[in-house]
Amino acid sequence: MNTAEITADDLIALVHSYNPKSNTKLIRAAFEYGAKMHEGQYRHSGEAYFTHPVAVAAILTEQQLDDATIITALLHDTIEDTGATYGEVENLFGHEVAELVDGVTKLTNLQLNSTETKQAENFRKLFMAMSKDLRVILVKLADRLHNMRTIKSMRVDKQNQKSRETMDIFAPLAGRMGMQWMREELEDLAFKVLNAEGRASIIRRFITLQRETGDVIQRITGDMRLELDKADIQAEVIGRAKKPYSIWRKMEEKEQSFSRLSDIYGFRIVTGSEEDCYRVLGAIHRRWRAVPGRFKDYISQPKTNGYRSIHTTVSGRDGKRVEVQIRTRQMHDVAESGVAAHWSYRDGVRSNNPFAVDPAKWIAQLTEQFDAEDDHEDFLEAVKLEMYADQVFCFTPKGDVVKLPRGATPIDFAYAIHTRIGNACVGAKVDGMRVPLWTRVKNGQSIEIISAQGQTPQVTWLDIATTGKAKTAIRRSLREVDRERFIKLGQELARSAFAHVGKDATKKVLITAAKNMRLKDTNEVLARLGSSELTGREVVQSVYPDLAPNKGDHIDARRAVVGLEPGQSFDRAPCCNPLPGERIVGITFRGKGVTVHAIDCERMAIYEDQPERWLDLRWHDGSHAAVYGVIIDLTIGNGAGVLGRICTLIGEASANISDLEFLERKPDFYRLLIDVDLRDVAHLHSLMLTLEAEGEVAEIKRHRDKNAKAPDEKGD
């Protein structure tokens, strides 16, 4: 039915078809009220605006939803776009409808379409709106679906913006709620805008395939019905080609061409009982060869949104793979409606579907794992991982079931049990055999986590873990460990910086520094100092502005090189980091200035056949400020206080640490790179002699990276 032609009687008939006891008077009143409020308003297509709320209501009738949701759809834009008020809607249609309409209005006003709003914050807002009444999101999804169906009337830039938002937020949300049909349609509509040619090419290939092979769906459907008849099983067989976007995504993921893709057809078999589901599975597997690793039993282990079905893939005609889903009628209703099945009607009564989940419990379970997220990017990663997850089911040694996304590892399993177990994990056994922590777990495996006291998460675990919960816990633990290390390092740097001006870094002095720098406490000052977010000079200056070291009469670093043209700028090459006192040469870049290299830099060989670009340069004579960064490669003993002494020696040598990176951590030695700011080459030699004299320093050398490119070189 054309949505522009739907009348109040048409809509009432649609509702009445599945809910004969519906309040037809209230639905008619809402229809007339909405039409009146939106009178004189038009859509981009030129149609009367009220055709949109009516279309949204019609979409929701397909899910057989309750009167309150249908009426909310009719009125969902009245408070926002017309003179209607909350009080008026409540007085006319009741408190429940008024709350729902208000919820949709607030959700619309969250400005999810703003390019300045981070996706993570969008998801937070969506979950907050969902937690009050999930029907708000059902209306919003139907609203988005109709807008996507009619998107061609919008400006091109708006089409792209709405389509990207649909692909990133609304489609995965619909899938997570179990409304797979809506997810697929939203994805395909967005795909049509974002990559019209890609979608058209998939459709053209489908037509060609159909011309070459005939109607594959009809033939396979007939074969399946024949096998079911032989086994005396009453069931409905539904076959379909997968949506263009679904096929495109498979091609991208598997890096295969269309001709090599096999599972582009899907079949559903809907039975009368759970017992028949397993009988159907047996009949299908007897007739066709099952594809290993492609079997999932979501009947015995349902998804959190209530989804139940048996999934298997078999080799059909001509060796083509065919995906088959087997479920009962009640399971099918939940598979089509997802969490929305809680409010749906069947045969005139509120559905008493045993597989429909309680929305309140579902929301609580979904949001619980994200509540602890402090970092918005972590939150977004966690949400997206959960949104797109396909599940595997593993067992603890005691036989408890743990649900994990496909591709999960023992690390994810450990954190799914408890954060404490995850943090202390040192190994794992799968089905009794010791395996590496990066092993991908499979359905039905029994996993035992081996833990050890004193173990802490490793940075490499972030690459191993796949669940949001595990990644968040690992990052939190690493931040705490890093913070403790930075505070200890900051204490040494602060002591050195204040000693340099004849003062002590007492607790009172650091409290004053924190206050003057508007930081939370002394630990925050020390942590920032240790992580190079602050320099020792800045901390000293915040307490003793007259005593802090200053540049005095040093040569301006911007004019430290002699031999440049007037107005010509220069950069030090990161491959050799030349210092005042070293012989240097310049390489010119058209319109980009000059890059200064040490004369013995290995990278100079690149320009041997371009002598016209070489400039004969030298450093200005005189005193230079300690602003020239050099990297020192240092191997030191892994002992208590060693790193602190190293930092103290560097501070006492009037050098500043700007960065510090650990390359290796061995039980007895650390190897690290320290970025220090120095005056000149003599300052470097003096510092290296001082550090070499430290008993715990095993090796020290200047670090140079011949592959490092200056900004000018990258674009040349």
Q: Concatenate the DSSP letters of all residues of 445-464 into one string.
A: -BEEEEE-TT----TTHHHH
The half-sphere exposure of 231 on its side-chain side, counting CA atoms within 13 A, is 20
The mean-pLDDT minimum among 126-130, 217-221, 430-434 falls in 126-130
Say if residue 62's pLDDT is above 50. yes
Say if residue 714's pLDDT is above 70. no
Beta-strand ranges (E) seen in 515-668 are: 561-562, 570-572, 584-589, 593-598, 614-619, 628-637, 656-665
Higher pLDDT residue, 469 or 123?
469
What is the tens place of the pLDDT at every residue in 521-551? 888 888 878 766 677 878 888 888 766 555 4
Say if residue 313's pLDDT is above 60. yes
Q: Which of 81, 223, 227, 633 is catalytic?
A: 81
Question: Which pLDDT belongs to residue 606?
Answer: 85
Closest Cα partner for 100 from 130, 63, 54, 136? 136
Q: pLDDT grade, residue 577 (50/70/90)?
A: very high
- Identify whether the C-beta of residue 76 lies closer than 8 Å to the C-beta of residue 101: yes
Say if residue 113's pLDDT is above 50. no
Cα-based distances in Å from 193 to 146, 164, 243, 482, 704: 15, 9, 15, 45, 49
> SS3 of 358, please?
coil
Question: Which pLDDT belongs to residue 26?
Answer: 93
Q: What is the CATH number of domain 551-716?
A: 3.30.70.260
Cα-based distances in Å from 667 to 133, 461, 474, 638, 645: 55, 19, 22, 7, 19
Q: Which residues contact 648 (CB under 8 A, 6 or more apart)?
A: 492, 495, 496
Higher pLDDT residue, 632 or 398?
632
Say if residue 117's pLDDT is above 50. no
Question: Which pLDDT belongs to residue 58?
Answer: 92
Higher pLDDT residue, 580 or 316?
580
Say if residue 488's pLDDT is above 70. yes
- Identify whether the C-beta of residue 277 lies closer than 8 Å to the C-beta of residue 327: yes
The half-sphere exposure of 646 on its side-chain side, counting CA atoms within 13 A, is 32
Higher pLDDT residue, 384 or 558?
558
Q: pLDDT grade, residue 404 (50/70/90)?
A: confident
39 in catalytic set: no
DSSP at 605:
G
pTM above 0.95, yes or no: no
Question: Which pLDDT belongs to residue 414?
Answer: 92
Cα-based distances in Å from 236 to 26, 222, 265, 281, 308: 37, 11, 17, 14, 17
Higher pLDDT residue, 444 or 110?
444
Question: Which pLDDT belongs to residue 501?
Answer: 76
What is the tens place of the pLDDT at every residue in 243-279? 888 777 766 655 555 544 556 778 999 999 999 999 9
Question: Which pLDDT belongs to residue 548?
Answer: 54
Rounded Cα distance between 277 and 280, Å, is 5
- Percent of the chain residues past pLDDT 90, beyond the cut: 14
Q: Both tokens of residue 332?
A: 């099918």
Say if residue 231's pLDDT is above 70. yes
Say if residue 348's pLDDT is above 60. no
Ramachandran category for residue 291: left, alpha or beta (phi over 0 → left; psi -120 to 50 → alpha):
beta
Higher pLDDT residue, 665 or 234?
234
The mean-pLDDT minimum among 28-42, 99-113, 209-223, 451-465 falls in 99-113
Amino acid at 677: D
Question: Which pLDDT belongs to residue 631?
Answer: 93
374 in catalytic set: no
Question: Which pLDDT belongs to residue 474?
Answer: 85
Q: pLDDT grade, residue 55 (50/70/90)?
A: very high
Question: Which pLDDT belongs to residue 327?
Answer: 93
The mean-pLDDT minimum among 123-127, 156-160, 264-268, 666-670 falls in 123-127
Say if residue 560's pLDDT is above 80. yes
Q: Which residues contact 122 (CB under 8 A, 6 or more apart)?
A: 110, 112, 169
Q: pLDDT grade, residue 282 (50/70/90)?
A: very high
Say if residue 485's pLDDT is above 80. no
Question: Which pLDDT belongs to residue 310?
Answer: 92
Say if residue 568's pLDDT is above 60. yes
Q: pLDDT grade, residue 609 (50/70/90)?
A: confident
Rounded Cα distance between 367 and 302, Å, is 19
What's the mean pLDDT when you consider all of the chain?
A: 80
Question: Which pLDDT belongs to residue 115?
Answer: 43
Q: Which residues contact 426 (CB under 8 A, 6 or more apart)?
A: 450, 451, 452, 455
Higher pLDDT residue, 80 or 122?
80
Cα angle for residues 503, 507, 513 (degrees, 5° grid): 75
Q: Write down the CATH superfamily of domain 198-350.
A: Beta Polymerase, domain 2 (3.30.460.10)
Higher pLDDT residue, 601 or 391?
601
Question: Which pLDDT belongs to residue 114?
Answer: 39
Domains 198-350 and 551-716 share a fold: no
Query: What dihedral angle (degrees, nearest 10) is formed by the CA atoms of 489, 495, 496, 498?
Result: 140
Question: Which pLDDT belongs to residue 558?
Answer: 78
Does the domain at 3-194 match CATH 1.10.3210.10? Answer given as yes
Higher pLDDT residue, 23 or 708?
23
Rounded Cα distance between 377 and 239, Å, is 40
Say if residue 116's pLDDT is above 70. no
Say if residue 434's pLDDT is above 80. yes
Q: Which of 10, 62, 80, 680 is catalytic?
A: 80
What would the mean pLDDT of 330-357 be, rounded to a whole number?
Answer: 67
Say if residue 436's pLDDT is above 70. yes
What would the mean pLDDT of 632-648 be, rounded to a whole number?
Answer: 84
Strand partners, 51: none
Domain boundaries along the sequence of the chain: 3-194, 198-350, 476-543, 551-716
Rounded Cα distance between 703 and 328, Å, is 67
31-70 burial, b for 16+ CB within 10 Å, e for fewer? bebbbebbeeeeeeeeeebbbbbbbbbbbbbebbbbbbbb
Measure the N-to-C terminal CA separation of the chain; round to a whole number of Å.
61
What would the mean pLDDT of 181-202 be, rounded to a whole number?
Answer: 86
Amino acid at 47: E
Question: Angle, nearest 10°, between helix axes 468-499 and 376-387?
Answer: 160
Helix (H) or strand (E) holding 568: none
Helix (H) or strand (E) holding 367: helix 359-368
Strand 349-350 and strand 391-395: the pairing is: unpaired
Strand partners, 351: none
Question: Which pLDDT belongs to residue 551?
Answer: 47
